[in-house]
Amino acid sequence: MALSNSQYEQLMSVIEGRHADAVARQKAAFDEVVRRSPIYAEMEEAVAKNQAERVKALLRGDEMLEDRLLSQIEDLRDQQRVILSGVGFPADYLDVHYTCPLCGDTGYVDGVKCRCFRALEAEMLYDASNIRGLLEQENFDTFDLKWFDRVRRDPASGRTSYENMSENLRKAREMAQDFKPGEKNMLFIGGAGTGKTFLSNCIAREVIKQGYSVIYYPAASLFDRMADSAFGRREDEREQIFGCDLLIIDDLGTEVTNSFATSQLFRCISERRLRRRSTIISTNLDLNQLRDTYTERVSSRLLEGFEILRFFNQDIRILKRHMMQTR
């Protein structure tokens, strides 16, 4: 999906505006040169006339005339450069100075999105994700394993939380670096403050940087939005929920659970699976609690379509707060 049609049109409007501004600046520069040296405009007209005649000579196969006209054009250009220098302007003053010289402010190079397009696209996708500010703080570069216990072992897995999170981090990096919509879904299960949201934000940032669309919702907000869309108030938002390349549902189980929320969760998971879109869900509930809360049908859909990553550790937020207090 990446950009929606409206987002694409908005982005292209920015690029087209840059192109128009560059052309307008060049026109203003030309007018300034002519104001200082009126003969420059006459010479420009002569260049244009000779170029038109040269094209005709080329079509007729008259090489001698073509060469003579080319020589005249070069002479006129030399004289123009002298005039520019004489009135205090650099030789490239009348060039069109585009914001992006690679694509000339068109957004594309040889039919492929230019890096300037990709940069604008990423900015727009960051803004649409709902977590732009968080992604600047919570990403793979700032992820720190020092908060995870290297000593105590979890009775169920036999791992320390450090070993467990190291493995989760590896899998998250793989998903983010090789992201393809619909290829992988993840279910993060664990207690509060164990790194689930932070790790999903790490993935989100990398996926957005690659030009894919990401939308983040706390579970309560998601179901509020879906309730609005069900009654026709936010149909465009429903399409974003179902169609974005990566949807992150955070803290599933903290919302008011009822038959509507359960049906909408099943619909969301199923619709995104049909569209081959990826989803990350984080929850404090274990698998039995998920089944009891959202029915067997929803929990089986999660089990069959999602890779489960388990999280356990002391609450990192409490650890950080304690560290600040003891300094």
Pairing mode, if any, of strands 108-109 and 112-113? antiparallel
Which neighbouring-strand residues pair with 310? 189
Q: Which domains are assigned to the chain?
A: 24-97 (no CATH), 129-326 (3.40.50.300)
Q: Mean pLDDT in runs of 10 for the chain (327 residues)? A: 76 94 95 92 92 91 91 92 90 91 93 84 76 84 93 93 96 95 95 94 91 88 80 66 91 89 92 95 94 91 92 87 68
Q: Given this model, what pLDDT does residue 7 score? A: 83
Q: Given this model, what pLDDT does residue 301 score? A: 87
Rounded to 5 degrees, what are φ and ψ at 97?
-100, 95
CA nearest to 26, candidates 104, 124, 86: 104
pLDDT (tens digit per residue) in 172-209 = 999 999 899 999 999 999 999 999 999 999 999 999 88
Its pTM surpasses 0.75: no
Q: Given this model, what pLDDT does residue 232 score? A: 55
pLDDT (tens digit per residue) in 91-134 = 889 999 999 999 999 999 999 888 788 778 877 877 777 777 78
Q: Given this model, what pLDDT does residue 12 score? A: 93
Q: Given this model, what pLDDT does residue 91 score? A: 84
Q: Given this model, what pLDDT does residue 108 score? A: 93
- Pair 83, 37: CB distance under 8 Å: yes
Q: Given this model, what pLDDT does residue 230 score? A: 62
- Both tokens assigned to 268: 């969301």
| DSSP secondary structure of 19-57 | HHHHHHHHHHHHHHHHHH-THHHHHHHHHHHHHHHHHHH
Name residues whose C-beta falls within 8 Å of residue 182's C-beta, 6 or more positions apart in sequence. Answer: 273, 275, 276, 277, 278
The C-alpha atoms of residue 289 and residue 269 are separated, in whole angstroms, by 18
Q: Given this model, what pLDDT does residue 310 score? A: 97
